[in-house]
């Protein structure tokens, strides 16, 4: 993936990792369109970054995805990168089963079905670009999590959706082999954002700026990579292959 000269749609771009990625790519001269449900949050980011654009998009709503992506294709025909970043992380407890099911269903729609729907929407556009210009390059970046590899028990569905998004990314990359579209999985560790209440103040969380800086550096150093694994998340990403998954699970869930 080239880090300059792109036209990029980044979901969840009004805060957290999405905002950090949007600003980093914007500084490199890309045309960046951030998407999210909260217009005020989007406006705050675009006001602070002159030239950045925004669209209001609900990734939980299939019709919103259809209409908004169609509008983006009309307004930004050069769109060639999608960053599936929008996501929610909620705690779950078997002490409240009806609420647990509601949380699970909402998490699956936002974290998994939304990215799949968006990806399918943009792939048609990317294929049309490739037919017009065989030298065109496109990319889909899926933001997963270290919890896809070693889960946190009280966010069971979050971890499951991120594991599924990892699997989807791996398979999609294979399906698109030989085309002009690259699939890249970004794997954050615990990062200091407000993904969950108070997470930004968690002393164990990696500062957002450090995560973005290392991710951008690795993208630059490995333009053909299918995964971007920063140093902090290797503990989870490589636990299975290093035969220490059970020990890592106990550490993540503070079972010792």
Residue spans per domain, the chain? 7-252
Helix, strand, coil percent values for the chain (each to nearest 5): 50, 15, 35
Q: By the 8 A CB rule, do 237 and 149 touch?
A: yes
Task: Give the three-class secondary structure for 18.
Answer: helix
Q: By the 8 A CB rule, do 18 and 29 touch?
A: no
Is 194 a residue whose pLDDT tops 90?
yes
Q: What is the pLDDT of residue 49?
A: 98
Per-residue pLDDT tens over the stretch 41-75: 999 999 999 999 999 999 999 999 999 999 999 99
Is 96 a residue whose pLDDT tops 90?
no
What value does the mean pLDDT of the chain take?
97
Helical H runs in 146-186? Answer: 156-175
Q: What b/e string do you get for 135-165 counting C-beta neighbours within 10 Å, with b at 16 or more?
A: ebbbbbbbbbbbbbbbbbeebbbbbbbbbbb
Per-residue confidence band for 98, with pLDDT thresholds at 50, 70 and 90: confident
Is 256 a residue whose pLDDT tops 90?
no
Residue 20 burial (CB < 10 Å; 0-12/13-18/19+)? buried
Of the candidates 149, 158, 168, 211, the residue annotated as catalytic is: 158
Q: Is 149 one of the annotated active-site residues of the chain? A: no
Helical H runs in the chain? Answer: 16-27, 39-48, 62-75, 97-108, 114-132, 156-175, 208-221, 234-237, 245-252
Is 250 a residue whose pLDDT tops 90?
yes
Tell me the C-alpha to C-alpha distance, in Å, between residue 211 and each of 11, 21, 41, 220.
18, 10, 21, 14
Which CATH number describes the domain made up of 7-252? 3.40.50.720
Triad 141, 124, 170: Cα angle to 5°: 35
In degrees and rounded to multiples of 5, residue 183 shows phi and psi of: -115, 130
Percent of residues, the chain, with pLDDT higher than 70 = 100
Q: What is the pLDDT of residue 196?
A: 94
Give residues with Cβ within 8 angstroms of 110, minimum separation 6: 59, 60, 86, 87, 88
Is 94 a residue whose pLDDT tops 90?
no
In angstroms, the CA 251 to CA 17 distance is: 24
Per-residue confidence band for 25, with pLDDT thresholds at 50, 70 and 90: very high
Residue 200 burial (CB < 10 Å; 0-12/13-18/19+)? middle
Question: How far is residue 140 CA from its own chain's centroid?
Answer: 9
In angstroms, the CA 84 to CA 174 distance is: 18
Is 37 a residue whose pLDDT tops 90?
yes
Q: By the 8 A CB rule, do 53 and 65 touch?
A: no
Full-model pTM: 0.96
């Amino acid at each position: 993936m080239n880090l300059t000269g792109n036209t990029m749609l980044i979901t969840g771009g009004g805060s957290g990792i999405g905002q950090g990625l949007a600003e980093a790519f914007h500084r490199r001269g890309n045309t960046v369109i951030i998407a999210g449900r909260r217009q005020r949050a989007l406006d705050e980011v675009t006001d602070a970054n002159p030239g950045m654009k925004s669209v209001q998009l609900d990734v939980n709503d299939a019709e919103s995805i259809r209409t908004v992506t169609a509008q983006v294709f009309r307004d930004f025909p050069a769109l060639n990168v999608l960053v599936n970043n929008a996501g929610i992380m909620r705690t779950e407890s078997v002490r409240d089963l009806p609420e647990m099911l509601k949380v699970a269903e909402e998490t699956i729609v936002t974290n998994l079905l939304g990215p799949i729907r968006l990806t399918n929407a943009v792939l048609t556009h990317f294929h049309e670009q490739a037919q017009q210009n065989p030298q065109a390059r496109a990319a889909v970046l899926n933001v997963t999590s270290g919890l896809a590899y070693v889960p946190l028990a009280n966010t069971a569905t979050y971890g499951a959706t991120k594991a599924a998004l990892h699997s989807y990314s791996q398979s999609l990359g294979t399906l698109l082999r030989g085309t002009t579209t690259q699939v890249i999985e970004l794997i954050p560790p615990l990062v200091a954002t407000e993904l969950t209440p108070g997470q930004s103040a968690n002393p164990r969380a990696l500062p957002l700026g450090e995560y973005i800086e290392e991710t951008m550096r690795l993208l630059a150093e490995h333009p053909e990579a299918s995964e971007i694994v920063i140093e902090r998340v290797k503990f989870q990403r490589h636990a299975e292959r290093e035969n220490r998954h059970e020990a890592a699970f106990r550490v993540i869930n503070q079972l010792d």
